[in-house]
A and B are shown apart, each in its own frame.
Chain A
Amino acid sequence: MNTTTSHAKEETQALGPQMAAFEAMEKATNGAAPSWLRCLRTSGIAYFADLGLPTATMEDWRQTNPEPLASFGFSSPSRPSNWSHGMIDGWTLPGMDASRLVLVDGWFMPELGRWPRHAGGVQIGSLEETIRSRPQWIERFLGRAARYETNALAAMNTAFLRDGVVVHVPAGVRLSAPVYILHLATTKGAVIQPRVLVVADANAQVEVVEDFVSLGSQPSWTNSVTEIFAAEGATVEHVKIQRENRHSLHTALVEARQRAQSRIVSHSISLGARLARNDINLRLEAPGCDSVLNGLYVAEGDQLVDHHTIADHASPHCASHEFYHGILTGRAKGVFNGRIYVRQGAQKTDAKQTNRNLLLSTEATVHTKPQLEIFADDVKCTHGATVGQLDDQALFYLRARGIGETAARRMLIQAFAADVLNRISREPLRNGLESLLNTFLENHPVVT
């Protein structure tokens, strides 16, 4: 018996549900999608079939066992027919009222959102609608930042690319209020695959907040892709908050392309899900780019939280600064893999990476790995990682002033977290996240 054939057959069988769902979707949307989109999806499913779901033997998944993804199955949620405004009550972050877009199981729900008609050609709305109304424009961006050729999960998202959010800010326009995208997961067993596209034209400025939430405690798997394009001189601040329930799986790719003198600030706040894997890749493609990668992950119980980041310096005179903090307790596991790639010719690169971790229990673990690949000779690259406990001296100092042990521990944990949150430029959002985190710390045994 030919083992290769047998192996290939097994894999096809394993991917059967995705393949069948893809065929069903193709049939259902036959003719409705423009040919470039069908081409993109077909290419997505082809790469997905080729790459297969991640396995523990893959270098990128060595510390994060992807088995729960394979055993989750595959069921694409249909457009929700039942919805109410009550669904979003209590979830919207404070200060995020100006522009709120809501996705339910990956489907854009105009009824639940609220966003002003912007002057100056700003376009904010559903992906599906934008594909219909501006096909030529969107074709230039969709699938052109996310490298799904090497990322099976991004390929899977691309294969099923249907709906999501588009934010387009034309040249010179600066949006004063953040665009807030609330991703609600509501269906048990669903594989939810939203797609978000952010395009900032030359010298435009925009802030996008993506907030991932589950309604109820049913397990779901969110597999999202966000593509960001920052043109010359543009500034994009992207905040991703993940607070899904403890039964859910969360895999997400944020990939950005930066033109000259552009600035991208990415924040990833990861609190929820049983398994959370974030890939955040910034590509500094022209001189003078400035990139910031900030992150905070908090995990307890059996949670696993993984951040894989890449700052890809492809051009000279660019800076990237990365600052990630992790707080882990129970039997939680944290994974941080920060790659700084300095290509040949990317002289005068200034790259800095810091990852600090607080382990609050004896069984919590963290795997932190900086990965510097430098092919230029006139660069400044630094990295540092620490793993430690709460500072006993500081704890005693607080207690010696009358602050109880639990409160003192919480104070120190909050301070550790605030070090990251303070880097978010907008105050209401920063405060909103601080209170979200404080509530989280109060309701979870992180501090005992």
Chain B
Amino acid sequence: MKPILEINNLHARVEEKIILKGLNLTIHAGEVHAIMGPNGSGKSTLASVLAGRPGYEATAGTVVYEGEDLLEMKPEDRARKGLFLAFQYPVEIPGVNGTYFLKAALNEVRKFKGLPELDALEFLELVKSRMKVLELDPGLLNRPVNEGFSGGEKKRNEIFQMAVLEPRLAVLDETDSGLDIDALRTVAEGVNKLRSKDNAQLVITHYQRLLEYIVPDYVHVLYDGRIIRSGGKELAYELEKRGYDWLIADAEKPGPVMAQR
């Protein structure tokens, strides 16, 4: 089976600073991957490069998404082809109505899939059912996008958008940050409901906590722009217990140790 995402030796920089230094990662349909790592290891840079955020430039390596060169695509085309980034810091957009925005986004995705646009009524039905899952106040959707939302509402709104857009590959960038335990559980439940054998999720997090609710098939540790260790979900528990230092020490040992891995 062809993977959904195949990252090969990816190098990327933000302005003049090189952040990713040879990252490899392959994700197949039906899989949930978690990327963990200390602050500054390049986790959010990876999310931004995948989504095509301006200013994040891949300098070497390849990213193949659904058989196509992802790095060549505009951000909007990536989204239309089913790549979804749940933002670490969702942006407030004054004056752009939430319903209007989401309907425009959904119709772009549907247009790309060759599906007819939803009319207002069909859209409302869909939205209502998805809002319930995320326990979002329906009033929020009539407000400008994210404007005046609490931190938790913003994060839930991201997952709500994901539920409406039904992406092939969802990248969740620190979705747990700023959430209390109840909100975290709601968000995770929402994410889990969207899980299927046809799609995949890449969960980026600093803490193991989120992974108690969104259970990954694979856990990768990112450090200094490279994945220094990959394992099953038990790796997350080990990191929770032992921290990152033992891995980093390993990774920074020269020559032979690296070769053993």
Q: Which residues of A contact B (CB under 8 A)?
A: 391-394, 396-405, 407-408, 411-412, 414-416, 418-419
Contact between A397 and B87 (Cβ–Cβ < 8 Å)?
yes
Contact between A394 and B74 (Cβ–Cβ < 8 Å)?
no
- The 8 A CB mask of B68-93 against A (1 = contact, 0 = none) is 00000011101110000101001111
Closest to A394 in B: B93
In the complex, whether B104 has a CB less than 8 A from a CB of chain A is: yes
Contact between B108 and A396 (Cβ–Cβ < 8 Å)?
no
CA distance A399 to B80 in the complex (A): 10
Contact between A402 and B53 (Cβ–Cβ < 8 Å)?
no
CA distance A93 to B90 in the complex (A): 38
Q: Which of B3-11, B94-102, B248-256 contacts A (4 or more CB under 8 A)?
A: B94-102
In the complex, whether B109 has a CB less than 8 A from a CB of chain A is: yes
Closest to B106 in A: A402
A28 shortest CB reach to chain B, Å = 53
CA distance A411 to B103 in the complex (A): 13
CA distance A405 to B93 in the complex (A): 15
Q: A402-B109, A405-B74, A411-B101 are in contact. Are A397 and B93 (CB under 8 A)?
A: yes
CA distance A415 to B94 in the complex (A): 7
Contact between B75 and A396 (Cβ–Cβ < 8 Å)?
yes
A403 partner residues in chain B, CB cutoff 8 A: 76, 101, 104-105, 108
Q: Which residues of B contact A (CB under 8 A)?
A: 51-54, 74-76, 78-80, 85, 87, 90-96, 101-102, 104-105, 108-109, 112, 144-145, 161, 165
Closest to B112 in A: A402
CB < 8 Å: which of A392, A393, A400, A419 contacts B79?
A400
CA distance A396 to B54 in the complex (A): 8
CA distance A392 to B165 in the complex (A): 23
CA distance A397 to B38 in the complex (A): 26
Contact between A399 and B79 (Cβ–Cβ < 8 Å)?
yes
A397 partner residues in chain B, CB cutoff 8 A: 87, 90-91, 93, 145
A312 shortest CB reach to chain B, Å = 31
Closest to B87 in A: A397
B79 partner residues in chain A, CB cutoff 8 A: 399-402
B96 partner residues in chain A, CB cutoff 8 A: 394, 398, 411-412, 415
Contact between A412 and B93 (Cβ–Cβ < 8 Å)?
yes
Cβ-closest 10 pairs across A and B? A415-B95, A402-B108, A402-B79, A401-B105, A397-B91, A399-B75, A399-B76, A402-B80, A415-B96, A394-B93
Q: A396-B53, A396-B54 are in contact. Are A418 and B75 (CB under 8 A)?
A: no
CB < 8 Å: which of B52, B74, B101, B112 contacts A401?
B101
Contact between A402 and B94 (Cβ–Cβ < 8 Å)?
no
A416 partner residues in chain B, CB cutoff 8 A: 95
Q: What would 14 A/B residue contacts be, using CB atoms closer than 8 Å?
A: A394-B91, A397-B93, A398-B101, A399-B52, A399-B74, A399-B75, A401-B79, A401-B161, A401-B165, A402-B79, A403-B108, A411-B96, A415-B93, A415-B96
